[in-house]
Chain A
Amino acid sequence: DAGVIQSPRHEVTEMGQEVTLRCKPISGHNSLFWYRQTMMRGLELLIYFNNNVPIDDSGMPEDRFSAKMPNASFSTLKIQPSEPRDSAVYFCASTTFRDRKNIQYFGAGTRLSVL
């Protein structure tokens, strides 16, 4: 398997623009997580899905953030409108929920810069 695939790897945008980050989880995994990582706040869980259903979105910072998982092989994280403080590395991770060990496989991340 190619692992968790995220796109784009880098995104530079201007304040106020819409940003869409994409993630393809590992085939057969039924849990998907979106994280944000910054120096100040470390690795923060934004939202996670089980079997394509959002379970916990308490980490989503504001209504400007939204996430969808239309099928088992694709998820998006959207920021609209983007702000400079959204600049961070965004990671997607997937795992198999069944065994409860929650061993997560991370993508390479999307480095977002909002100017």
Chain B
Amino acid sequence: SQKIEQNSEALNIQEGKTATLTCNYTNYSPAYLQWYRQDPGRGPVFLLLIRENEKEKRKERLKVTFDTTLKQSLFHITASQPADSATYLCALVNTNAGKSTFGDGTTLTVKP
């Protein structure tokens, strides 16, 4: 079965810096890889999706890369703000099975 590792349970950075979160997986490369944000007491919220044939995807201050050779996705938040503090989860989509496998998440804290 697919295993996902999001390195470092917690990441602390200074406001204005770029936050980089990592998602590594084993086994097959998924057709889609997603990133979600989860705030305390709430459910995860979808942020970005990247396809297996895409190297990079951007949305405002967010950037996601996908390297199927390394079996890794990087999630970047540029010009970080305290409001970006949350837990970020990556998810691998198994299109054949119609379900996704989620990583345990990385908790980002942006200090003013």
Q: Does B24 contact A (CB under 8 A)?
A: no
B49 A103 Cβ-Cβ under 8 A: yes
B44 A43 Cβ-Cβ under 8 A: yes
Q: Count of chain A residues with Cβ under 8 Å from any Cβ of B?
A: 24
A101 B32 Cβ-Cβ under 8 A: yes
Binds B, one of A64-72, A76-84, A105-113: A105-113
Q: Does A88 contact B (CB under 8 A)?
A: no
Residue in B89, B95, B104 whose CB lies within 8 Å of A102:
B95
A97 B104 Cβ-Cβ under 8 A: no
Give the distance to chain A from B82, nearest Cβ to Cβ, in Å: 23
Report the tally of A-B residue pairs with Cβ distances under 8 A: 60
Q: Does A14 contact B (CB under 8 A)?
A: no
Contact with B along A42-66 (1 / 0, CB 8 A): 1101001010000110000000000
Chain B, interface residues (CB within 8 Å), range: 20 to 34
A58→B11 CA distance, assembly (Å): 33
Give the distance to chain B from A79, nearest Cβ to Cβ, in Å: 19
Give the residue among A35, A48, A55, A102 with the most B Cβ atoms within 10 A. Answer: A102
Besides A102-B98, A107-B43, 6 more A-B contacts (Cβ < 8 Å) are A42-B104, A43-B105, A45-B100, A48-B99, A56-B99, A91-B44
* Interface positions of A (Cβ within 8 A of B): 4, 31, 33, 35, 42-43, 45, 48, 50, 55-56, 91, 93, 97, 100-109
A-B contact pairs, 21 of them (CB 8 A): A33-B99, A35-B102, A42-B103, A42-B104, A43-B102, A45-B99, A48-B99, A50-B98, A91-B44, A100-B31, A100-B98, A101-B32, A101-B49, A101-B93, A102-B95, A102-B100, A103-B34, A104-B44, A104-B100, A108-B42, A108-B43
